[in-house]
Amino acid sequence: MSQTPESAKPSQPRRIPRELIFGNPEKAAPRISPDGTKLAFLAEDEGVLNIWAGPLEGAAKPVTRDRGRGIRSYFWSGDSRTLLYVQDKDGDENWHLYRADWEGGASVDLTPFAGVQAQIIGTHPDFPQDALIGLNRRDARVHDVYRLNVASGAMDLVEQNPGDVIGWLPDVRFDLRCARAVKPDGGGELRVKDGAGTPWRTFLSWGPDDAVGAHGFAPSNDALYVESSLDSDATQLWEMSLDGKSRRLLASCAGADVSGILVHPTKFNVQACAFEKERLVWRPIGGDVGPDFEALAKALEGDAHLASRDDADGRWIVSCISDRRPASYYRYNRSTREAAFLFSTRPALESYALSPMRPVEIEARDGLKLTAYLTVPVGAEPHKLPLVLHVHGGPWARDSWGFHPEIQWLANQGYAVLQVNFRGSAGFGKRFLHAGDREWGARMQDDLTDAVFWAVREGIADKNRVAIYGASYGGYAALCGAAFTPDLYRCAVDIVGPSNLATLIKSVPPYWEPLRRVFDLRVGSLETEPEFLESRSPLFFADKIQMPMLIAQGANDPRVKVAESESIVSALRAKGKEVEYLLFPDEGHGFARPENRLKFYEACEKFLARHLGRE
């Protein structure tokens, strides 16, 4: 295995330039072509992330010419010549699907419909020119299914959405035979067809407290790989026959939901299942890839993620995730079980000493155990440090171990950083998830408060120098921290966070409409509980905010509209409170353009230094 050169080994801690952390990566997201002869990746072309491609052993060149926010998601078509990618306009999330040839030329917009969002449903190795896509062209609330010829751009309607389907799945012959729908009570059901042309029927049904999803059809085409919590707290992976006569448990892990599965690209058998509690763990199924994960565990200093592979399943592109190195990629040969270093996403960072991230367990005031991650500046003693409580978004998501640009940036400036999987976070089973129902701004916020108390009690944090920081739900939590626990924090940073839960729910994108009942159950009902939502909305408690605030927003955000930030900014300024506001006119739910990221982080760095005493 190729090693990182001696010149790239960490030196003594020194200040890392923001550009090295928040600028575009040098290279990222490598993808091997299905025939195994070509490699594509993302890299800058005239300062913007574009797709580059070339022979597996040769030089690459840019094959797209995006000059906006850059390309971040793409994949190879089955013909190993065509690259497909999605792009929106300035963050509006109306994704269009584009085609580019690996040898270059102008990209082609395959879904040139204004105000329409394209979703990728699937491709198939036996139909290299086709893709199944979802479009909300007929009804903005739901996606119908089309079969698209990526060479000609011609598309045919395959299935019209009945109004409640939020996910579709083709079988091993590329026929659409599984759908995931939501029910009026907030639960859901899996619907299947017994064959192409047969009617839909209910296969599985569940209530709002459970989680069920299909990951694909088994090679026999008469069974599904199903992730389910119907018989357990955490989701388990099952193989279930469509006739309901048999089912087989394939993988489970106490306290951790299924976080991903590995399915052979042409044989369609499930090969491994991933679980994540503190760290990512792969459980091989059937013995096919067990020796490969053992080899990778020995070769890589971090957690292995399979990023791409050829159709023969002989060549893998593997990402190595570590807490003290930027993501790096390796070419792995299954026949020799050798991993060769491909590239680091940010090689200039390899010469800096990065800070370790340590999993910790924190007990909330009601005894609930919270999985958290503590990062202490490299070389510093964990004693009375200024602390940044970094709150994840979602909230039905989670924090994970590994390299995190914001965490390393904060630690490099001398702050301890604490990330908490508060109740309502995903991945830890249904009891933990639903412990957060109707607890926005309440017990979910108490968990964050208790985490700060823990850090102070352990002697890690200086109680007088604590900041709360987050984006999306994390931004909401930052506003709640400022409004509901004004004596706990010295300052707060809110990025695209909602300030008024009623207007948040009222203004969600139309394609979230089928999930409205989930918001009713997990957040609160807009129709019947406006007072309850108001009681959990920081906007109505702006008079209690005393601490300095930094608020940043994308003008085109379709999830958290610009009014959410501007309302709280106006309320604070009307009362003479200290608030710094950054509005980015060409961004959405997050900041994709490097120049905007750098502007924000420069302002944030100065803000935190001023109020946490690091100037």
DSSP for 550-597 reads EEEEETT-SSS-HHHHHHHHHHHHHTT--EEEEEETT-BSB--SHHHH
The dihedrals phi and psi of 156, each to the nearest 5 degrees, come to -125, 140
CA distance 193 to 212: 18
Contacts of 446 (CB under 8 A, 6+ apart): 364, 365
Active-site residue, from 124, 305, 404, 589? 589
List strands edge to edge, sheet with 144-149. Answer: 118-122, 130-135, 144-149, 155-159
Q: How far apart are CA 469 and CA 452, in angstroms?
A: 13
What is the rounded CA–CA span in Å between residue 551 and residue 572? 11
Catalytic residue check, 229? no
CB distance 418 to 389 below 8 Å: yes
Residue 430: how many CB atoms within 10 A of its CB? Answer: 18
- Distance between the two ends of the chain, CA-based, in angstroms? 44
Contact at 8 Å (CB) between 600 and 591? yes
Active site residue 557: yes
Residue 579's nearest CA partner among 479, 429, 489, 441 is 479
Is-catalytic flag, 390? no
Catalytic residue among 557, 565, 567, 611: 557
Catalytically annotated residue among 77, 322, 472, 567: 472
For the sheet with 176-182, list strands across it: 165-170, 176-182, 188-192, 201-206
Q: Token pair for residue 195? A: 């064959």
What is the rounded distance in angstroms from the CA atom of residue 308 to the CA atom of residue 525?
A: 42
Tokens 């300035």 belong to residue: 90
What is the set of active-site residues? 472, 557, 589
